[in-house]
Amino acid sequence: MADSVSKTIYLQTILELTYGQSREQVANNQIAEHLHVTPSSVSNMMAKLQESGEVDVEPYYGVTLTPKGQQIALRLTRIHRLMEVFFSEKLHLSSTNAYANAVHFDHHADDTLLTALDDFLGHPQTCPHGLPIPDATYTCDSHPHRNLNTLVAGTEFTIVGFNEDAELLEYLELTGVTLNSTWKFIGRMPFSGPLVIESLVSKKQIQISEHAANYVYTN
């Protein structure tokens, strides 16, 4: 992966992990987990991004996007999520497949294509994974949400979004967790085991790992 592309992917990742909250800090290990790279690789890239004025690094606490870094990340995120909508709605790819293919296009689209695509799709507000799409001014309104692993037993909820990670999306497809599906949080298995949730429609219970549940968003 080219260094210039690597930088933009890191910026997008930081934006996504904060769910669009520009001044929220992200720990290096969170970035490493999301990108499946080593913590040392993250540290090296954060040093480069800080030098170029795209992130602020607070040792031992995490990183935040600067206005410059956020502008770059919002533009790329807008392109990526519009591509996902196109692949999903018009080409009928699965949400996982739409995500995987959008990665190959989002760094090369120009503003003319971006505007045309947005118009063609009718200005969608969210991508197939429920995440907000930045508008034409690169403003991104984050919707109120809770992480699945923060709920208490007995809570009924609707899935409103997923973190965009290929392995997570494949995992959720296998477990049958879909956007806008409704569930009840039953509880956690002993010894830091997985979370148990029950479909409000089928009454089927499934288990979701604590790690995955941290990246599943509910109302």
Asked if 36 and 118 sit in the same domain, the reply is yes
CATH number at residue 72: 1.10.10.10
Asked if 129 and 28 sit in the same domain, the reply is yes
Q: Are strands 195-199 and 205-208 parallel, antiparallel or unpaired?
A: antiparallel
Q: What is the pLDDT of residue 109?
A: 79
Q: Which of 142, 164, 180 is the last residue of a domain?
A: 142
Number of Cα atoms under 13 Å in the Cβ half of residue 19: 18
Asked if 118 and 21 sit in the same domain, the reply is yes
**Burial letters for 106-136: b for 16+ Cβ neighbours within 10 Å, e otherwise?**
beebeeeebeebbeeeeebebbbbbbbbbee
Q: Beta-strand (E) ranges in 41-151?
A: 55-58, 62-65, 146-147
Confidence (pTM): 0.85
CATH number at residue 173: 2.30.30.90
- Contact between 96 and 127 (Cβ < 8 Å): no
Q: What is the mean pLDDT of each run of 10 residues along the chain (219 residues)?
A: 62 84 79 88 93 92 92 91 95 90 78 92 93 88 82 96 88 90 95 93 94 91
Q: What is the pLDDT of residue 17?
A: 86
Please tell me the distance from the alpha carbon of residue 59 to that of residue 114, in angstroms, as a whole number: 37
Q: Which two tokens stand for residue 43?
A: 């540290």
Asked if 67 and 123 sit in the same domain, the reply is yes
Please tell me the distance from the alpha carbon of residue 84 to that of residue 125, in angstroms, as a whole number: 12
Domain that holds residue 131: 1-142
φ, ψ at 91 (rounded to 5°):
-105, -5
Q: Which of 121, 142, 163 is the last residue of a domain?
A: 142
Helix/strand/coil for 196: strand
Tally of domains within the chain: 2
Q: Are strands 62-65 and 216-218 parallel, antiparallel or unpaired?
A: unpaired
Please tell me the distance from the alpha carbon of residue 91 to that of residue 102, in angstroms, as a whole number: 12
Asked if 73 and 173 sit in the same domain, the reply is no
Asked if 155 and 65 sit in the same domain, the reply is no
Q: Which of 112, 127, 142 is the last residue of a domain?
A: 142
Strand partners, 126: 132
Asked if 186 and 95 sit in the same domain, the reply is no
